[in-house]
Amino acid sequence: MRPPPPAPLPFLLLLLLVLLVHLPSPPAEAAAGPASAWGAISAAAGGRRRVASPAEQEAAAAGVLGRLLPSHARSFRFQIDSKGGVCGGSSCFRISNVDGSGKNGAEILIQGTTAVELASGLHWYLKYWCGAHISWDKTGGAQLASVPLPGSLPQVKATGVKIERPVPWNYYQNVVTSSYSFVWWDWKRWEKEIDWMALQGINLPLAFTGQEAIWQKSFNVTDRNLDGFFGGPAFLAWARMGNLHGWGGPLSQNWLDQQLALQKKILSRMIELGMVPVLPSFSGNVPSVFKKLFPSANITRLGDWNTVNGDPRWCCTYLLDPSDALFIDVGQAFIKQEMKEYGDITNIYNCDTFNENTPPTNEPAYISSLGSAIYEAMSRGNKDAVWLMQGWLFYSDAAFWKEPQMKALLHSVPTGKMIVLDLFADVKPIWQMSSQFYGVPYIWCMLHNFGGNIEMYGVLDSISSGPVDARTSHNSTMVGVGMCMEGIEHNPVVYELMSEMAFRSQKVEVELPSNLTIPQDWLKIYSYRRYGQSNVDIEKAWGILYHTIYNCTDGIADHNKDYIVEFPDISPSSISSDISKRRTISKMEKHRRFILSEVSASLPHPHLWYSKNEAIKALELFLNAGNELSKSLTYRYDLVDLTRQSLSKLANEVYLNALNSYQKKDSNGLNLHTKKFLELIVDIDTLLASDDNFLLGPWLESAKSLAMTENERKQYEWNARTQVTMWYDNTKIEQSKLHDYANKFWSGLLKSYYLPRASKYFTRLTRNLQENRSFELEEWRKDWIAYSNEWQSGKELYAVKATGDALTISKSLFRKYLS
C-alpha cells in the first residue's frame, strides 16, 4: 500500500517557493547579445529539419510522467503552446490549475514551447509544490514519497506560474562522456537518461552513439582496413578525436549494427521531446589506408598522445588537411550519410579538430583556412549547418591559442554559424578574457568532473551566479548554459543547481544570511526534497558542506588523486625529507583553502581545498540523522559518499606518515602506518559494498551483456577493466601515462586492485628497510604492472547487489578512525 501523504509544506515555505520560481524575464538585450549573431543562430538552428508535431510532443511528455510517476498519469495535462499565446515567442512553461478537477481527472495543466518545457514544468511543480527530488538512480534516485495522492495535489496561485528561459539552449555532455559513462548502456538505461534530460530542461544534447557505423559507410573502404582505426568500445571517444587508433579494438560488425540501431532509438525519442540533437561531423581523422587510396592527398601523421613508447599500432593518427579538396568530399559524404540514416533532424554539428592536438602552425591565415574548410564540409552536407565547438582547446593549450589564433578560427565561418562551448566556465571562464569570444555566440558550461572520478566537489556559488553574470555582461553573446562533465552520476546537488540555471534569470541564493526573516533558502529546500522530510542535523550538515566541499575557489581542476586510487609511482628516497613539516603547515592553514603542495616532481598532490575537520563535523551530523532517515536511498548514498571521502582524505595523511617513517628508518612507525593504510582500503571497500551505487560488478556485467559472442564478451570486459585501471598501454617496467585517470571508488576494485598494488609496495618497502637496502622501484613496477595486466584480462565475478547496513558500517568506521 502507498503510505498516506505527508503534511503539506508550511505556508511560509510555499510563499518563499513562489517567490523563488516566479522570476522576471531578463531584458531582451541582455539575453540576446548582438542581434545579428542571435538572429542567425536562431534561424540556422531552426532551418529545415523535422520537428515532432504538438500531439507527438504532448504524448512524449505524458510518457515521461508515466515512467516517473505512473500513479499520477491522469493528474496532469500537457499542452504545447504552438501558437505562442502563452510564451509569446520565447521558450517557457506555464503551470496552472485545472478547473473542476476531480479524483479521476487532471488537476494541473502544464503548457510549454516543446515537450522539454512540458517535462521541465512537471519537474518544477513536483519540486516546488510537492517537495519531490529527482536524481540519477546511481546517486540515490528519485524521492517521490512526498508527492500527495491523486486528487489532492497542491494548487498553484490562481493566475498560474510562468517560467521563461533567459537563454534558449541547455546543452548536455562532453565528447568523452560517451566512453566514461554511456558506453555499456542499453535502450532501457538510455530511455531513463533521456527522461532525466527532459526533466532537467536539456534541449541541446550531444548524440554521438553509433557514429562508427556511419564512418564505415562513408569511408567506403573494407572492414579489414578499419580494424586498426576504430578504438575499442571503452576508448571510442579518443579514437573519434584522433588521439589514438586501434586501442581496445577492433569493433565487430555486431557492435556497429547494435549501436546504430540504438542511436536511432535515442534520436527518435529526443525528436519526440522537441530536443535538437548535436551530431558528429568530420574532423579530418582518417584511416591509414587513405595514404594508399589517395596518394596525392595532404595527409599527415599527428604526434604522440600519451603512449609509453610510440607504438604505431595505436599511436600517431592520420589527419587529412582541411585545405585538401578530399576533406570537403569526405565531410560532405559523412553528413549526407547521417541524414540518410536518421533523417533531416538537426542543423547543429560538433567538430573538434585539434582537441588535445596542436595545429602544425600557429599562422592565423592557416587557422582561418582550416576553420573555413571544416565549415564548408558541414554546409555542403547541410546548407543550414551550425558548427558547435568545444572551447576546451583554448584552455588546454593556452600557449598556442592567443588572441590572433582564436580570432582566426572563430571568425573563419559566417556570422551565426558557430557556437562555442565555454567548457570550463565554472572555474576558468574564457568569455571574460576573450571579449565574449570576439562576438561569437557561446554557451556557459560547467565541466566539474574528470574521468568519471568519484569525489564530492563543487563550486555552488559560481554555478548560482556565473551564468547570470555572463548573460547580463556588456555585449554578451551568451546563448545557453550547459553541463560538460566527463563522467556523470555523482554530486547530485551540483547538477540539480546547474540544471535550474537554465530557467533562472536571477542569481540563486544558495544559503541566505541567518538574520533574514525568510525561513528557507535553496539549500534547505534541497535537503528537504532530497530526503523527503526536514531534519535539523541534516540542514546543519549541508550548511557545512556548502562552505567546505562545495565551495572550492582555488581554481584547481578537481581530478581525484587520493593515494588509494592513484598510488604514487615513486621511490621514497626521491622525496624531500620534510614531509612532516609540510603536514604541519597544512594543519596551520586548516582555515584556508589550499591544495597539498608538491614536495617533489614525482609525488602527486591530492586536491584538498577545505577543512577536513569541518567535513567530519558534517559527517557526524549525518550520522545523528540516521535514525530518522536510514530508510531513504538518497540519504544512504550521501552518507556512504561522505564517509568514503573523509576516510580517503585520512588515508592520504597515513600514506605520508608511512613514507616519513621510512625516511627516518623507523620500522615500527612504518609497520603501524602501513597496516592502517591497508586497513583503510579494506574498510572503505566494505563501506562501499553497502550501497548498490558503489560497486564494480554492474560496470563489468553491463559490458558483458552487450556481447553476442564469447570473443566480444572477453573484449568488452577487458575494455571495461582497463579503462578504470591502466587505461592505456604499458611496458613491463613503465605504467601507462594515463593510469588511474578514470579511477573509481567502487567496492571490488579497492580490494582486488588498489589493495594488492599498495600491499606489494609496502611489503617491498618494509623488507628494504629491514635489510637496509634502497627501494627497488623497478622491481616493484614489474610486480604490480604484471598484476595489473593479469587483472585487466581477468574473468572473476564481482557483486552486483549491496551487502551490509550502510548506517551501521559508517558509524563503526567513524568511531574507529574519525572520532
Q: For helices 667-688 and 806-813, what crossing angle results, to 10°?
A: 160
Instruction: Give the confidence band of 453 by pLDDT, cuts at 50, 70, 90.
Output: very high
* Residue range 190-211: mean pLDDT, rounded: 98
Q: Is the pLDDT of residue 582 over 80?
A: no
Q: What is the pLDDT of residue 104?
A: 67
Q: For helices 667-688 and 755-770, what crossing angle results, to 10°?
A: 170
Which bin fits 425, alpha (ψ -120 to 50), beta or left (φ > 0)?
alpha
Q: Is the pLDDT of residue 23 over 70?
A: no
More confident residue, 141 or 589: 141
Q: What is the pLDDT of residue 578?
A: 54
41, 59, 157, 201, 350 from 274: Cα distances, Å: 17, 12, 28, 11, 19
Q: Is the pLDDT of residue 690 over 70?
A: yes
- The grid coordinates listed for 737 are 601515462
How high does pLDDT run on average in the chain?
A: 90
- The grid coordinates listed for 672 are 603501524
pLDDT digits 0-9 by tens, 744-797: 999 999 999 999 999 999 999 999 999 999 999 999 999 999 999 999 999 999
Query: Among 25-39, 339-353, 652-666, which stretch is predicted with the lowest mean pLDDT?
Result: 25-39
Q: Is the pLDDT of residue 26 over 60?
A: no
Q: Is the pLDDT of residue 235 over 70?
A: yes
* Residue range 495-511: mean pLDDT, rounded: 96
* Residue range 565-570: mean pLDDT, rounded: 95
Q: What is the pLDDT of residue 45?
A: 62
Contact 563, 647 (CB under 8 A): no
CA-nearest of 678, 707, 697, 706 to 744 is: 697
Contact 615, 551 (CB under 8 A): no
Q: What is the pLDDT of residue 400?
A: 84
Instruction: Give the confidence band of 670 by pLDDT, cuts at 50, 70, 90.
Output: very high
Q: Is the pLDDT of residue 202 over 60?
A: yes
Task: Let me know how long the chain is.
Answer: 819
d(CA 608, CA 594): 6
- The grid coordinates listed for 674 are 602501513
d(CA 447, CA 425): 8
- Phi first, then psi, for residue 3 (nearest 5°) are -65, 155
1, 494, 509, 553 from 461: Cα distances, Å: 42, 10, 8, 9
Please report, rounded to a whole number, the percentage of residues in the chain having pLDDT higher than 90: 81
Report how far Cα 770 is from the mean position of its chain's Cα atoms. 46
Exposed/middle/buried for 481, CB within 10 Å: 0-12, 13-18, 19+? buried
CA-nearest of 338, 355, 50, 346 to 210 is: 338
d(CA 716, CA 55): 41
Q: Is the pLDDT of residue 53 over 70?
A: yes
* Residue range 9-31: mean pLDDT, rounded: 38
Measured over the CA atoms of residue 672, residue 677, residue 678 and residue 684, the dihedral's sign is positive
Query: Among 77-91, 348-362, 791-805, which stretch is predicted with the lowest mean pLDDT?
Result: 348-362
What contacts 24+ positions apart, CB below 8 Å, involve 36-42? 36/415, 36/416, 37/415, 37/416, 37/439, 37/440, 37/441, 37/477, 38/416, 38/441, 38/477, 38/479, 39/416, 40/414, 40/415, 40/416, 40/417, 41/386, 41/416, 41/419, 41/441, 41/479, 42/168
pLDDT digits 0-9 by tens, 355-411: 776 777 889 998 998 899 999 999 999 999 999 999 877 877 777 888 999 999 999
Q: Is the pLDDT of residue 3 over 70?
A: no
* Residue range 14-42: mean pLDDT, rounded: 43
Q: What is the pLDDT of residue 50?
A: 86
Enumerate the domain spans of the chain. 33-505, 612-818
* Residue range 184-211: mean pLDDT, rounded: 98
DSSP helix/strand/coil, 349: strand
d(CA 544, CA 400): 41
Q: For helices 522-531 and 536-547, what crossing angle results, to 10°?
A: 130
* Residue range 295-311: mean pLDDT, rounded: 94
d(CA 587, CA 195): 46
Question: What is the residue whose three cell numbers read 613496477?
Answer: 781
Query: Among 246-260, 475-489, 586-600, which stretch is predicted with the lowest mean pLDDT?
Result: 586-600
Q: What is the pLDDT of residue 80?
A: 98
Instruction: Give the confidence band of 513 by pLDDT, cuts at 50, 70, 90.
Output: low
d(CA 214, CA 242): 17
What DSSP string runs through 157-219?
-TT-EEEE-SSSEEEE--TTHHHHTSTT--HHHHHHHHHHHHHTT--EEB--TTHHHHHHHHH
Q: What is the pLDDT of residue 17?
A: 44
Strands (E), 408-536: 418-422, 442-446, 478-483
Q: What is the pLDDT of residue 18?
A: 40
Exposed/middle/buried for 417, CB within 10 Å: 0-12, 13-18, 19+? buried
Tally Cβ neighbours within 10 Å of residue 628.
15
Exposed/middle/buried for 467, CB within 10 Å: 0-12, 13-18, 19+? buried
More confident residue, 402 or 183: 183
- Phi first, then psi, for residue 285 (nearest 5°) are -75, 120
DSSP helix/strand/coil, 472: coil
- The grid coordinates listed for 504 are 533562472
Question: What is the residue whose three cell numbers read 553509433?
Answer: 210
Q: What is the pLDDT of residue 588?
A: 30
Architecture of the 33-505 domain = Alpha-Beta Barrel (3.20)
CA-nearest of 557, 581, 586 to 395 is: 557
What DSSP string runs through 60-111?
HHHHHHHHH-GGGTTTEEEEE-TTSTTTTTS-EEEEEEPTT--TTS--EEEE
Tally Cβ neighbours within 10 Å of residue 186.
13
pLDDT digits 0-9 by tens, 612-649: 999 999 999 999 999 999 999 999 999 999 999 999 99
Please report, rounded to a whole number, the percentage of residues in the chain having pLDDT higher than 70: 89
Query: Among 207-211, 319-323, 652-656, 805-809, which stretch is predicted with the lowest mean pLDDT?
Result: 319-323
Any idea which fold 612-818 has?
A: Four Helix Bundle (Hemerythrin (Met), subunit A) (1.20.120)
Question: Which run of H or E residues covers position 299?
Answer: strand 299-301
Respond yes or no on whether the N-terminal peptide bond of residue 250 is cis (omega within 30° of 0).
Answer: yes
pLDDT digits 0-9 by tens, 703-757: 999 999 999 999 999 999 999 999 999 999 999 999 999 999 999 999 999 999 9
Q: Is the pLDDT of residue 16 over 60?
A: no
The residue type found at 172 is: Y
DSSP helix/strand/coil, 401: coil
Instruction: Give the confidence band of 322 by pLDDT, cuts at 50, 70, 90.
Output: confident
Query: Among 117-121, 176-180, 596-600, which stretch is predicted with the lowest mean pLDDT?
Result: 596-600
d(CA 741, CA 724): 7
Exposed/middle/buried for 601, CB within 10 Å: 0-12, 13-18, 19+? exposed
